[in-house]
Amino acid sequence: MSQVTPFVERVRESLRAQLIATAAELLADRGFRGMRMADVAAATGVSRQTVHNEFGTKEALVNAVAAQTVAEFLQGVAQRFMDAPDVESGISAAVRHTLTHAAENRLVNAILTGTDAEDLLPLLTTKGRPVLLPAVDLLAQLWLVRMPWLPDSEIRLLAETGMRLTVSHLLTPTSTVDEAVATITALMRRLIPEAPR
């Protein structure tokens, strides 16, 4: 009996991952209003009831898609920041990853451009807290290790400022990725206090 349970859990996790991946594709194509649970079920090869049993509501499924998308993005940000030799190059690498990831990820791109999914834009604007807050939390943790002389509240303010600047460039790009990375990095460099001597 105990050997069956881990197998069942792995199958369930695999199904859940498939449903989330399918929903992400449909959201990118059709937006929130155009995506139906029945379409997710059909594209995955399961019954609609299976999708409802797993997530309950369309909103819960979309939240799961958003959580996974944010987790993948934050993992990339963390890796690039940790691999960098110093804070400035870490900021630059993290900003570049954010801007390029948005262009390469179909769902994020649909949210930003409104192409076929104009009703998803609030996920980054008026309903953006589930994206912004985890990103700020992660940046604050990463920066605290590199700048232990700063109080937590100041680190958090810097992290939120950097994230909001980057999201602003995502939503209303006025320059190339290289130019945006240089601008945000230069501004953040000016805002970060020097280490005490």
Q: The domain that contains 162 carries what CATH number?
A: 1.10.357.10
Could you tell me what percent of the chain has a pLDDT over 90?
Answer: 50
Per-residue CA distances from 59 to 65, 118, 126, 174, 179 (Å): 10, 16, 16, 33, 37
For the chain, state the CA radius of gyration: 19
**Mean pLDDT, to the nearest integer, of 66-70?**
81
Residue 147 resides in a domain: yes
Which domain covers residue 143, as residue numbers?
4-191
pLDDT (tens digit per residue) in 78-114: 999 999 999 999 999 999 998 998 888 777 766 655 5
Residue 15 resides in a domain: yes
Residue 166 resides in a domain: yes
Residue 140 resides in a domain: yes
pLDDT (tens digit per residue) in 137-161: 999 999 999 999 999 999 999 999 9
Contact 101, 167 (CB under 8 A): no
Asked if the model's pLDDT at residue 31 lies above 90, the reply is no
Is the model's pTM score more than 0.85? Answer: no
Residue 197 resides in a domain: no
d(CA 196, CA 9): 51
**Mean pLDDT, to the nearest integer, of 132-136?**
83
| Three-class secondary structure of residue 181 per DSSP | helix
Instruction: Give the residue among 65, 11, 9, 70 at the shortest CA–CA distance from 37.
Output: 65
Residue 80 resides in a domain: yes
Residue 196 resides in a domain: no
Asked if the model's pLDDT at residue 128 lies above 70, the reply is no
Residue 184 resides in a domain: yes
Structure tokens at 45: 């090869």
- Work out how many domains the chain is built from and give that number: 1
